[in-house]
Structure 1
Amino acid sequence: MRYALGFRLPPQNREWVRHDLTDAGWRGRILLRHLGLMAPVCAAFAALPAEGWARVAVALLVLVASTLTVMISADDLRRARLRQHGLEPPG
């Protein structure tokens, strides 16, 4: 959970981080972690007092906007996460 929130893992997890961010499918894993974090946020927005269509629209807007942001900046997020763990980003 700490890793999904952006915290640094202990040094013994360094190789796992390298695998997570450089192996095939790394973009999908970043996106899945993001969706896991955003699910409760969207649920909170959907629970606000408003008409049903407005609650759904706001929750979807939050989900779509944040997901597109993560997809657009995935390379930068990966580079930052690798450097955070003392690893060299791939060329």
Structure 2
Amino acid sequence: MRWLHYVYGGRLPEAYREWVLHDATAKTWVLRFAFRIFAEALPWLVAAYLVLTLLTPLPVPVVLLALLLSLLLSLFLTVTSADELAEVRLTKHGFPPGTGKAVRKRRGGASTWP
């Protein structure tokens, strides 16, 4: 439940502060970020599928293609802003601005994305 709260932008308790830093600075931070976006979008995609298949005469493959396209577009638009969004998340958890980029650079990884 806490992870879902975190996915939807909630602040975790202070005990999870270091985990949030790890989440935003690990080598796989962009993949973690993309998975959170997918998890956040999944209920909306299911709801849209149900509405579009039950209330419209659209064929199922067209609905699935449209939903896949919307998911890919939302992933593209949010991943291009991943650096800034990760910094906002870290700031929300009490870290000074720029912490994520600095930690990623210090660990030898790319400090920014892409």
Superposition TM-score tier, normalisation by shorter sequence: 0.7 to 0.9
Q: What's the TM-score, normalizing by structure 1?
A: 0.88
Q: Which moved more, 1:80-89 or 1:58-67?
A: 58-67
Structure with the greater alpha carbon radius of gyration: 2
Gaps of 5+ in 1: none
Q: What's the TM-score, normalizing by structure 2?
A: 0.72
Q: Distance in 1 between matches of 2:95 and 2:81?
A: 19
Q: Following TM superposition, by how much is the alpha carbon of 1:54 offset from its aligned partner in structure 2, in angstroms?
A: 3.9
| Root-mean-square deviation over aligned CA pairs | 1.4
> Residues 12-70 of structure 1, C-alpha deviation per residue, up to 9 Å, x if partnerless?
11011111111110110010111112122112112222212442233123212211111
Size of the aligned set, in residue pairs, is 91
Q: Distance in 1 between matches of 2:37 and 2:79?
A: 10
**Which among 42, 46, 64 is matched to residue 56 of structure 1?**
64
Gaps of 5+ in 2: 103-114
